[in-house]
Amino acid sequence: MTVTDSALVLSRSKRLKAATQATHERLDSGIMARRPFSSRERYALFLLVQHRFHQDVDAFYRSAALGELLPALLERRRLELIELDLRDLGVAPENSRATPVSIGEQPIDVPTALGWLYVAEGSNLGAAFLLKQAGSLGLSETFGARHLVAAPEGHGLHWKTFTAALDAALLSAMEEERAIAGARAAYQRVHKLVNELLVVAAESAGSLEADDGDPTRFHPDVKEGEG
C-alpha cells in the first residue's frame, strides 16, 4: 500500500485497519476453526501463542519514547497476566527464542512499533467474547483467563483512548509506510505462531486433519490483497 494524500484523510488507525483487514479476518477465522475453547489443552495452546507474541512486543510497552506518544502504555501490558494464566493450567511459560529481528533492534523504530502495538491492542477487542468462552472451561477473571479481563473503563473506551493517541502521533509519509509494514509484520508473526504452536501441536496429537488445502490454515507469506 502506498500512502497517498487521499488515504491520509482517514485516521491512522483506520488506515491500518484497511491495510490489514483481510489478514485479520483470515487469522480470526482460522484460530476459531482450531476450536481453542473446546478443552483446556487446546486453550493452553492458544495461550502459548498469546504469550510468545506478547513477549515479542513487551519491549514496546516498556519504551519511554512510545510511552510519551501513548499515555499509560505500560499499564496496558498483558504479558505477566498471560504467564499467570499459563501457570494456572500447569504450563510453564517459556522465553521466546525467535523474536523477529525487525522488533529486536535498538533503538526501537517508533513507526514500526506503532504498527505492532496497533495489532496487540486490537487483539483485546474481542476479549469479552473470549472470556465467556473460557468460562465454559471453568476459567475466570481470577483463574486461567486473567489476560481477558477488561480495563476498568471497558474494552471499547480502552481501545478508543489508544487509537486517539495513535492517530495524534506525528509521522512523515515514509513513517506512515513503516507503521503499516509493522502492523502487517505483526499479523504475519501471529500467523507463524499459530502454525507452530496451535495448529502443529493439535495436529500432532491427532486431533486435526492434515492440511489438504484448508483455507483456514495460515500462510504468513501471503501478502495483503492476495488470495
Q: What is the pLDDT of residue 104?
A: 53
- C-alpha distances out from residue 37 to 47, 97, 130, 132, Å: 11, 26, 8, 10
* Grid cell at residue 57: 512486543
pLDDT the model gives residue 95: 76
pLDDT given for residue 203 in this prediction: 59
User: How much is the pLDDT for 119?
Assistant: 97
pLDDT score recorded for residue 82: 97
Question: Which burial class, exposed, middle or buried, applies to 162 when counting CB atoms under 10 A from its CB (0-12, 13-18, 19+)?
Answer: buried
Q: Distances from the Cα of 161 to the Cαs of 56, 80, 130, 154, 216, in angstroms? A: 23, 22, 22, 11, 32
pLDDT per residue rounded down to tens, the chain (227 residues): 455 444 457 899 999 999 999 999 999 888 988 899 999 999 999 999 999 999 999 999 999 999 999 999 999 999 999 999 999 999 998 876 555 544 555 689 999 999 999 999 999 988 999 999 999 999 999 999 999 999 988 989 999 999 999 999 999 999 999 999 999 999 999 999 999 888 766 555 554 433 433 433 433 333 333 33
Q: Side-chain half-sphere of 28: how many Cα atoms within 13 Å?
A: 15
- The whole-number pLDDT of residue 201 equals 61
3-class SS string, the chain: CCCCCCHHHCCHHHHHHHHHHHHHHHHHHHHHHCCCCCCHHHHHHHHHHHHHHHHHHHHHHHCHHHHHHCCCCHHHCCHHHHHHHHHHCCCCCCCCCCCCHHHHCCCCCHHHHHHHHHHHHHCCCCHHHHHHHHHCCCCECCEECHHHCCCCCCHHHHHHHHHHHHHHCCCCHHHHHHHHHHHHHHHHHHHHHHHHHHHHHHHHCCCCCCCCCCCCCCCCCCCCCCC
pLDDT attached to residue 29? 87
Phi/psi of residue 205, each to 5°?
A: -85, 0
